[in-house]
């Protein structure tokens, strides 16, 4: 009988796996620009994946890589493609897949520090650096999460515990007044979701109207707070967005912070998309008031180009985070040994993966400047795309381009025209853009979250869009005449 552990690989298998993985990385990297953006889904293969029973005798390492090559890869979206400009989703940075493999190999459980001492410090160093970007000081803390939505859920949980000290024992099952959350009409749905999950209820989320630049209107916020107080309800939290998901608009954070201070409300920033633009010198001033927020959600799996999943919650006073989540006095070790944190006291999970390693590894490998440049590159390209659109008589921007989301429409074209043009652009394999809905108007949205995208890619997209729109007759006659 072999003394090979039953689920281990022997030396030859490890070598084979290493060789095949290196080849996979190499082939994938080279093929990215030629790969289909969206796969032509092979239903037979996918049905087979669903229906095929797992074998009693395994396929072995080579068999597995073959299945990945033949079945998984051809039916996967090419997120790294330079003209993948849908959603807010970017390609992973180059070192991250290696860091992920190492994290999986050492399998640290990032719950309490004795189980994962280095991981605890690595996560702390990442959190401290992120907090520092916004001007948070040593009292701040945070935790890496599965994404921005979870970070906002965890932030609102923390805010609830701070507002209602008996929340852990009683929940919201008390005669106390209804709590109200304020956010803008352009906020991400994760705010409603958090309110629903926490028992606040979406009826108690006010979507404050926005101004002509899609930013929360502060006087409307103040009026809504007054109306709720007059009706006996209890305003408790404002979620502002530095970078809304559709147009990238930046709420007036300083003015909202003034309101929150005056009204004693928790200020949370949903920075899942936008907060990390603080890395750009050009945006730093605009993000200056972020330090006044009680908590900030952001997403390394967007602008730090870490592979999914890596979100982050920062809280200005980490003691409040521990008050919400620590079920033992173990968080006192925060004071006893600032080097070692028990992350189970900072969030709802007990077992946690070593997400911080991929963030830390990328920052160590490439250095912070590389990320500043990558972020500036995406800002430049979005501006370039906006300029090309503005220079095209039959296209118009639907919103100012504050960050990297570019919402635009074909002048005078119907909703159906927009759908058809977008479908053709995607269908011919040129680019993946998404639809945009603003003020009840339909258009298209490109979001540059890709360090591989070039000016040539942007020119190609705008050129093809114009050609398709003209051929389909989606360009209004009056615009056509000036061509």
Ligand X SMILES: Cc1ncc(COP(=O)(O)O)c(C=O)c1O
Backbone dihedral angles phi then psi of residue 139, each to the nearest 5 degrees: -75, -15
Backbone dihedral angles phi then psi of residue 250, each to the nearest 5 degrees: -115, 115
| Gap between the Cα atoms of 22 and 45, Å rounded | 25
Q: Is the peptide bond before 441 cis (omega within 30 degrees of 0)?
A: no
Residue 40 has a CB neighbour count (10 Å cut-off) of 8
What x/- string results for residues 160 through 189 when contact with ligand X is judged by CB under 6 A? ----------------------------x-
Per CB under 6 A, the segment of 15-23, 35-43, 239-247, 411-419 that binds ligand X is 239-247
Per CB under 6 A, the segment of 123-131, 270-278, 286-294, 472-480 that binds ligand X is 270-278
Torsion of CA 444, 250, 314, 110, to 10 degrees: 10
Q: Which of 123, 270, 342, 345 is in the footprint of ligand X by CB under 6 A?
A: 270
Which residue lies nearer to ligand X by CB, 150 or 474? 150
Which residue lies nearer to ligand X by CB, 190 or 237? 190
Strand pairing report for 205-208 and 179-184: parallel
Per CB under 6 A, the segment of 58-66, 269-277, 357-365, 431-439 that binds ligand X is 269-277
Per CB under 6 A, the segment of 61-69, 99-107, 238-246, 384-392 that binds ligand X is 238-246
| Gap between the Cα atoms of 344 and 119, Å rounded | 13
Residues of this chain, 67-96, that bind ligand X according to CB under 6 A: 88
Report, in Å, the least distance between residue 405 CB and ligand X.
9
Report, in Å, the least distance between residue 114 CB and ligand X.
30
Which residue lies nearer to ligand X by CB, 307 or 311? 311
Report, in Å, the least distance between residue 374 CB and ligand X.
18
Which residue lies nearer to ligand X by CB, 65 or 347? 347
| Cβ-closest position to ligand X | 147
Quick one: which of 317, 325, 301, 329 has its CA closest to 126?
301
Q: Which residue has the tokens 């007054």?
A: 226
Per CB under 6 A, the segment of 44-52, 219-227, 241-249, 333-341 that binds ligand X is 241-249
Report, in Å, the least distance between residue 333 CB and ligand X.
30
Backbone dihedral angles phi then psi of residue 133, each to the nearest 5 degrees: -60, -30
For residue 311, give the H/E element and its range. Answer: strand 311-315
Report, in Å, the least distance between residue 414 CB and ligand X.
28
| Gap between the Cα atoms of 181 and 238, Å rounded | 6
Residues of this chain, 271-290, that bind ligand X according to CB under 6 A: 272-273
Residues of this chain, 123-162, that bind ligand X according to CB under 6 A: 147-149
Which residue lies nearer to ligand X by CB, 192 or 234? 192
Per CB under 6 A, the segment of 240-248, 383-391, 421-429, 461-469 that binds ligand X is 240-248
Report, in Å, the least distance between residue 183 CB and ligand X.
10
DSSP string, 370-432: HHHHHHHHHHHHHHHHHHHHHTSTTEEESS--SSSEEEEEETT--HHHHHHHHHHHHHTTS-B
How many chain residues interact with ligand X (CB under 6 A)? 14
Beta strands in 109-178 (DSSP E): 141-145
Q: Which of 157, 158, 241, 402 is in the footprint of ligand X by CB under 6 A?
A: 241
| Gap between the Cα atoms of 290 and 278, Å rounded | 10
Residues of this chain, 455-474, that bind ligand X according to CB under 6 A: none
Which residue lies nearer to ligand X by CB, 273 or 408? 273
Query: Binding of ligand X at residue 190 (CB under 6 A)?
Result: yes
| Gap between the Cα atoms of 193 and 376, Å rounded | 32
Q: Mention every residue, 6+ apart, whose C-beta is less than 8 A from residue 64.
A: none
For residue 260, give the H/E element and its range. Answer: helix 253-263
Residues of this chain, 307-326, that bind ligand X according to CB under 6 A: 311
Per CB under 6 A, the segment of 54-62, 66-74, 134-142, 266-274 that binds ligand X is 266-274
- Binding residues (CB under 6 A) for ligand X: these are 88, 147-149, 188, 190, 241, 244-245, 270, 272-273, 299, 311
């Amino acid at each position: 009988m072999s003394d090979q552990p039953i689920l281990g690989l022997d030396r030859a298998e490890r070598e084979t796996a290493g060789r095949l993985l290196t080849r996979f990385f190499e082939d994938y990297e080279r093929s990215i620009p030629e790969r289909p953006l969206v796969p032509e889904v092979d239903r037979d293969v996918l049905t087979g994946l669903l229906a095929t029973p797992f074998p009693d005798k395994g396929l072995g390492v080579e068999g597995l890589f073959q299945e990945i090559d033949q079945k998984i890869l051809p039916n996967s979206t090419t997120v790294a493609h330079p003209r993948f400009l849908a959603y807010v989703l970017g390609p992973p940075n180059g070192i991250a897949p290696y860091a992920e493999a190492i994290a999986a190999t050492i399998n640290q459980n990032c719950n309490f520090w004795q189980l994962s001492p280095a991981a605890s410090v690595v996560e702390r160093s990442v959190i401290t650096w992120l907090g520092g970007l916004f001007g948070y000081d040593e009292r701040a803390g945070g935790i890496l999460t599965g994404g921005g939505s979870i970070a906002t859920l965890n932030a609102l949980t923390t805010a609830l515990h701070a507002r209602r000290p008996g929340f852990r024992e009683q929940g919201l099952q008390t005669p106390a007044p209804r709590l109200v959350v304020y956010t803008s009409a352009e906020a991400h749905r994760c705010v409603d979701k958090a309110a629903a999950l926490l028992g606040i209820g979406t009826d108690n989320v006010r979507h404050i109207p926005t101004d002509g630049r899609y930013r929360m209107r502060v006087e409307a916020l103040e009026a809504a707070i007054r109306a709720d107080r007059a009706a006996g309800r209890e305003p408790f939290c404002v979620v502002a967005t530095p970078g809304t998901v559709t147009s990238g608009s930046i709420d007036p954070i300083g003015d909202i912070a003034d309101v929150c201070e005056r009204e004693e409300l928790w200020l949370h920033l949903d920075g899942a998309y936008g907060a990390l633009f603080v890395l750009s010198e050009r945006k730093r001033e605009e993000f200056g008031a972020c330090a006044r927020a009680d908590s900030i959600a952001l997403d390394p799996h967007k602008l730090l180009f870490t592979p999914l999943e890596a979100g982050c919650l920062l809280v200005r006073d980490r003691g409040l985070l521990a008050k919400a989540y620590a079920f033992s006095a173990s968080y006192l070790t925060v004071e006893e040994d600032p080097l070692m944190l028990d992350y189970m006291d900072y969030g709802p999970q007990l077992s946690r993966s070593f997400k911080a390693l991929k963030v830390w590894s990328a920052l160590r490998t490439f250095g912070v400047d590389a990320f500043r440049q990558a972020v500036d590159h995406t800002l430049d390209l979005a501006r370039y795309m906006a300029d090309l659109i503005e220079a095209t008589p039959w296209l118009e921007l639907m919103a100012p381009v504050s960050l990297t989301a570019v919402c635009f429409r074909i002048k005078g074209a119907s909703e159906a025209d927009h759908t058809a043009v977008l479908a053709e652009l995607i269908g011919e394999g040129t680019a993946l853009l998404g639809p945009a809905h603003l003020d009840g108007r339909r258009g298209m949205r490109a979001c540059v979250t890709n360090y591989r995208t070039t000016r040539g890619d942007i020119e190609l997209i705008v050129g093809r869009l114009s050609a398709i729109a003209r051929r389909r007759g989606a360009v209004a006659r009056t615009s056509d005449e000036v061509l």
